[in-house]
Structure 1
Amino acid sequence: MRARLASLLALTTALAGCTVAGNAAEDGTERVVVGYQSKTINTVTAGTLLRAQGFLEKRLGKKYSVVWQDYDTGAPITAQMMAGKIDIGSMGDYPLLINGARGQQSEQTRTKMIAVTGYNLRGALNTVVVAPDSPIRQLADLRGKVVSTSVGSAAHGLLVQALRKAGVDPEKDVKVENQQPPIGASALQSGNVAALSQFVAWPGLLVQRGDARVLYDGGELNVATLHGTVVRQQYATAHPDVVTAFLQAQQDATEFLWKQPLRAAEIVAEQTGLPAEVVYLYNGANGIATFAMPLTAELRQAMQNDVPFLKSIGVLQGIDLNAFLDDSYLSGVPGSDAANGAVLTGTDPVCGKPVQKDAGELWFTGEETTQPAADPSCLLRAVKAAKRAGRQVRAAYVPDTTTGTRWFADRSVWVHDGDRFLPFITQGAAQRYGKGSIITYEQAVAAA
């Protein structure tokens, strides 16, 4: 336990804090300051991947120099934007709304959300996890317990809405600790909190390491969550060419992620210290995060639906969404209206069937491409065949039977129902299915 905690603390220390990654503007160049969150990996097309590949610098040319500033959450990016010290940033939906509302308090500080980075229409980018050996099996068991989250984040919103749905009063029945993701992860590991509600990639990281199990899949709430790109209005008015170049570079990063998802995951892993398998869980083909830039009507409505919650916790008084959401800059970015380009295709080589919406995926050690699995049962057969052939499975991904949320096959709860093997992210979801028998992953592979 102590060794695992020390390892987690080392990782969170390496990932935590704000880092000014750029250099001062060179003589004769104009400085562009970009705020991003390297560990919030569904913003990588406007942050980590964008920076690593140099797409923005290529689009801007030698007239500009880019300063990159890395933060744990969106709040400090907003503070720096209000002070005129960050020009363009990226963050989640709740921080975006707070950003827009704060900006509208003064004509000089107004901001605009100009594009989407990653989203999940069911809300699966946020997850509640507990320790692997925790006796807590359902949200109702959190009564009287301490839960860590980042207050004002979408993960906080998930926690509050999910608790209410489960008949638990989030104000009276649960004590919420307002903590940054690395601190909350350490608190869960040390036993100082009973559960952790957080956004990507912390839940996936903790589960992949064996330091947590999922108590509640955000996809069960079925409330869309998204991340996006925001710019200071004054800066956009003065430098429309830079804003267009940024969005063109974001599209470059998006297309790179679509075309080379494994390589993109490895690049993000190299930059953040996160395991590539965790990054790919969210950002790969059929990943939890969908990467596409348009501000669709569905996502606009999701932002509107978020406003009442933020008002209820006192972090938002009001916002003119029509003035804040502005996709006009995307008109100058060819290809930015494209839908998700990271979808699993092909034919399952083990079952000999084309992949469907419930397709899984295997990533083998030392291989530069992945292998599709037509369905969860076929994936188990592929794992079994790979073991016999001496191929090492680096990661195997399957969609949850109920929500469709992609998860690690070996961290899922399996149900054997007739000739089918069905994966569930949580024990509770497997029990609610109500048929067949619950078995371990190892038993499922053996029986496939």
Structure 2
Amino acid sequence: MPRERNPLLPLLPVALLLPLATACGGSADADGNAEAKTVTVTVGYQSKTINTVTAGTLLRSLGYFEEELAARGKKDGTTYKVEWQDYATGAPITAQMTAGKIDIGSMGDFPLLINAARGKQLGQPTRLVSVTGYNLRGGLNTVVSAPGSPLRSLAGLRGKKVSTSVGSAADGTLVRALRQAGIDPDKGIQKLNQQPSVGASALTAGSVDALSQFVAWPGKQAFEGKATALYDGAELNLPTFHGVTVREKFAKQRTGILDDFLRAQRRATDHLRAHPVTAAESVAKVTGLPAEVVYLYNGAQGIATFDPELRPELIAALKEDVPVLKAAGLVGDVDVDAFVDPAPLRRAVRSAAYPKAGTAKPELWLKGASTTRSFDSPKELLKAANGADVRAAYVPDALTGTLWFADKAVWVADGSELRAFVTPASAKRYVDAHAGARVIRYADAVRLAS
């Protein structure tokens, strides 16, 4: 079936006609000059894409970038200002960057490739200089269906209406997952190209059968009782991440400012990792997202691991994304090695990398508590939660390790053990492979644990 026009992709003729606004005020030109007394740096970010908060929402609220620039200003006598521009997806950030109107932006891995392609095409090349958050298995993207839906696996999507954002990492997950399920992603479903909020509303209204989206939309819809997980992106076992891209001209002419940004991002990452509950509540306050949802992704055991390092496995995954976008006609060839530039981070931050993420543990967040408690098993979590004043309880999928809300998970009793799964399909696979194992209700799991 013919595809809808993609509203998320920049309309290039319009973008080309946009007037080039200055990235720097005073007498500075679009890329800055030594005569400027006031320099304005424009940062594009996605407040509700909470895997980017260390380069966006959280960084902005902490004021670390402004602090770094103020220190620079004391030395060189220049006044530095930051203009933050919030967008729903990465595509408009790319459009503004290629028009010279945004200097630094953050977005997901698929949009980053489109950013690289459009920048080269329009003579405004960009460079990937850091990562915000990642999941090595791909758990940041999820396909969800409506509560009570008869759908139990991706196989049931054949011929159905599915909402996603074409060109996003969530669309990439959908395409790959459908192919694994033996469904042609172009002809086997009716794909609706919609922004995340529109798709979420469509699912609630019943005008689509499923929604494939990136962090934090699937978790939000599930938490609010508006969706049930149908496919866990971690089943692909392919890394997905978000990162920071910068205009090459800006990076060359304002090297020190880029260094300041990367140092500020590292400070914000330190803050998030040291104070995950406080950070989640801060992001929730700014975005309007439930703090429990933010913590699902950004918490101590969260689905996302925050680390600015450009890890080799993430860059390798980025290269594997190129053919998917090429097949969709969204990019041509992309020279990933030329796009990735680790030099600024190495220059700005000493020992940028954190230890790799370990296996997630069940975690309990009680109402009124400023910290959470982790457990060695799902049974211990449920026992502690029984009768307690619980704000949120999280449990990792027994197969993929993806964290999910305990009361939204699919529970399986296997002898004396209790195991949780994000989707009915993965729970069924486990039950089919383990004699005596059976799917049970959450309330029964709590009773058995106690």
Query: TM over 0.5, yes or no?
Result: yes
Higher mean C-alpha deviation, range 195-204 or range 430-439: 430-439
1:226 aligns with 2:241: yes
In the alignment, what sits opposite 2:444?
A: 443
Matching residue of 1:302: 317
**Candidates 135, 143, 157, aligned match of 2:150:** 135
Corresponding position: 1:57 with 2:72: no
2-structure distance, mates of 1:426, 1:408: 12
Structure 1 residue ranges without an equivalent (≥5): 1-23, 344-356
Q: State the distance in 2 between where 1:208 and 1:53 align.
A: 27
String of CA shifts for 1:314-369, please: whole Å, max 9, x gaps: 001111212110010012233452325887xxxxxxxxxxxxx3521100000111
Sort the Cα spacing of 1:240 and 1:184 in 2 relative to 1 into closer, same or farther, 3 A. Answer: same
Aligned-partner residue type, residue 185 of structure 2: P
Determine whether 1:99 maps to 2:86: no
Measured in 1, the distance between the counterparts of 2:214 and 2:402 equals 14
State yes or no: 1:266 paired with 2:281.
Answer: yes
Shift of 1:296: 1.3
**Counterpart residue number, 2:395:** 398
CA deviations 1:273-316 (Å, max 9, x no partner) are 00000000000112100111111111110111100000000001
Q: Distance in 1 between matches of 2:197 and 2:420?
A: 29
1:373 corresponding residue in structure 2:
375
The residue number in structure 1 matching 2:207 is 192
Whether the aligned pair in 1 keeps the contact of 2:301 and 2:360 (CA below 8 Å) is no
SS at 1:314 equivalent: coil
Instruction: Provide the secondary structure at the position in 1 that maps to 2:191.
Output: strand
1: CA distance, partners of 2:351 / 2:121: 31
1:289 corresponds in structure 2 to: 304
CA distance in 2, matches of 1:203, 1:101: 28
TM-score (norm: length of structure 2): 0.88
Range moving further from structure 2, 297-306 or 431-440: 431-440
Structure 1: how far apart are the matches of 2:341 and 2:360? 35
Q: Percent sequence identity over matched residues? A: 56
Residues 112-158 of structure 1 show CA distances to partners (whole Å, capped at 9, x for unaligned) of 00001111111110000000111111111111111000001110011
Of residues 168, 177, 182, the one that matches 1:153 is 168
Residue 40 (str. 1) matches residue 56 (str. 2)? no
CA distance in 1, matches of 2:371, 2:350: 25
Give 1:28 deviation, angstroms. 3.9
Amino acid at match of 2:277: L
Is the CA contact 1:373–1:382 (under 8 Å) kept in the aligned structure 2? no
Matched, 1:162 2:177: yes
Instruction: Report the Cα distance in structure 1 between the residues aligned to 2:25 and 2:192, rounded to whole angstroms.
Output: 40
The alignment partner of 2:252 has SS state of helix
Hey, what does 1:125 align to over in structure 2? Answer: 140
Please provide the CA RMSD for this pair: 1.6
Gap change, CA 1:340 and 1:182, over 3 Å in 2: farther
Contact 1:123 1:218 in 2 (8 A): yes
* 3-state SS of paired residue (2:259): helix
- Look up the SS of the partner of 1:410 in the other structure: coil
AA at the equivalent of 1:264:
A
Which digits, 9 at most, give the CA deviation of each residue in 1:176-212, with x for residues without a partner?
0000000000000000000000000000000000100
Q: Separation in 1 of the partners of 2:333 and 2:188?
A: 28
Pick closer, same or farther for the CA change 1:269–1:358 going to 2, 3 Å. Answer: closer
Contact 1:330 1:336 in 2 (8 A): no
The Cα of 1:419 is off from its aligned counterpart by: 1.0
Amino acid at match of 1:359: K
Q: Residues 251 and 335 of structure 1 are in contact (CA less than 8 Å); yes or no, is this contact kept in structure 2?
A: no
CA contact (8 A) 2:362 2:376 kept: yes
Which shifted more, 313-322 or 210-219? 313-322
The runs of 5 or more residues in structure 2 that have no matched partner are 1-23, 27-35, 74-78
Runs of at least 4 residues of structure 1 off by over 3 A?
24-28, 340-343
SS in 1 for 2:303: coil
Alpha-carbon distance in 2 for matches of 1:321, 1:203 = 29
What is the CA distance between 1:442 and its match in structure 2? 1.0
**What do residues 357-399 of structure 1 show as CA deviations (whole Å, max 9, x unaligned)?**
3521100000111111111111111112xx1xxx311001111
Q: 3-state SS of the aligned residue for 1:303?
A: helix
Residues 19-45 of structure 1, C-alpha deviation per residue, up to 9 Å, x if partnerless?
A: xxxxx9689421000000000000000
Verify: 1:433 aligned to 2:430, yes or no: yes
Letter in 2 for 1:423: A
